[in-house]
């Protein structure tokens, strides 16, 4: 299992390099499809079956199809002048390298992994179960079996049930707020992509008017 995970992680890192350094946009998109699919495989290895399916449907399905569709629609040209030796680029690379090094050092040395907290995490996770049982006076029942889950809930019970349990009990308000977010995004997308006034595409006059409006601050 460890070897499989290592191979998938290495492949994901390599295909992520392709996203950033491909000169053609479509190659970047296809590399991102590969990266997303490999991360979905990582989720499967880590026993997160629900997120595996969501990742494949939402990312590799919907989002990447949208990307490829827009690439085909807009047909962006390849970047022919790389921004090398730009001061901003150098500063950015230095900042990114510093961040990367800091995270690497933290992950390797400074963070200690205490496996004894594992049982505590499970107890805290099901704390509301214990509380509700105490309220009804039924203290003999094992709280972990109230919903039919064994103690090691994430890895033994069905992953979809455990995630749904959290999603619709503890985090039901954030879950409902995401529906509002999706509604706002859908309305915004319809507003942005509606047909604009007159003139063919790539109308230089329209571009001038747009620039003038922006510079004048609207009016």
Partner 1 sequence: MLSQAMFPWLLLTAAFLFTLGALGVLIRRNPLVVFMCIELMLNAVNLALVGYSSYLNSEEGQVFAFMVIVVAAAEVVVGLGLLTRVFSIGRELDVDDLDEMKQ
Given candidates 2, 116, 136, 139, which one binds partner 1 under the rule CB under 8 A?
2
Structure tokens at 55: 């990742």
Residue 95 CA to residue 112 CA, distance in Å, equals: 26
What is the x/- site pattern for partner 1, positions 176-195, by CB under 8 A? --x--xx-xxx-xx-xxx--
What length does the chain have? 219
Given candidates 7, 118, 127, 134, which one binds partner 1 under the rule CB under 8 A?
118
End-to-end CA distance of the chain, in Å? Answer: 63
Structure tokens at 105: 């050092």
Q: Which stretch binds partner 1 (CB under 8 A): 28-36, 129-137, 140-148?
A: 28-36
Nearer Cβ to partner 1 (135/215): 215
Interacting positions 132-161 with partner 1 (CB under 8 A): 152-155, 159
Q: Which stretch binds partner 1 (CB under 8 A): 105-113, 129-137, 140-148?
A: 105-113
What DSSP character marks residue 57?
I
Is residue 115 near partner 1 by the rule CB under 8 A?
yes
Is residue 201 near partner 1 by the rule CB under 8 A?
yes
CB count in 10 Å sphere of residue 21 = 11
Find out whether 31 and 16 touch, Cβ atoms under 8 Å: yes
């Amino acid at each position: 299992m460890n070897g499989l995970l290592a191979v998938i992680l290495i492949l994901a890192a390599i295909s992520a390099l392709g996203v950033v350094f491909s000169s053609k946009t479509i190659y970047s998109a296809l590399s991102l499809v590969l990266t997303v699919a490999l991360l979905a495989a990582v989720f499967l290895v880590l026993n997160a079956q629900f997120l595996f399916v969501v990742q494949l449907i939402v990312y590799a399905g919907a989002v990447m199809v949208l990307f490829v569709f827009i690439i085909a629609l807009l047909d962006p040209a390849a970047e022919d002048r790389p921004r090398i030796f730009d001061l901003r680029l150098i500063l950015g690379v230095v900042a990114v390298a510093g961040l990367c090094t800091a995270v690497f050092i933290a992950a390797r040395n400074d963070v200690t992994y205490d496996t004894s907290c594992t049982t505590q995490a499970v107890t805290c996770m099901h704390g509301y179960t214990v509380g509700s049982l105490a309220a009804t006076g039924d203290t003999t029942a094992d709280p972990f079996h109230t919903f039919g889950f064994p103690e090691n809930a994430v890895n033994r019970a069905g992953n979809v049930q455990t995630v749904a349990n959290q999603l619709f009990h503890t985090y039901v308000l954030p879950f409902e707020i995401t529906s509002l977010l999706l509604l706002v995004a859908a309305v915004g997308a319809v507003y942005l992509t509606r047909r604009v006034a007159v003139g063919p595409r790539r109308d230089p006059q329209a571009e001038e008017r747009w620039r003038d409006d922006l510079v004048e601050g609207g009016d």
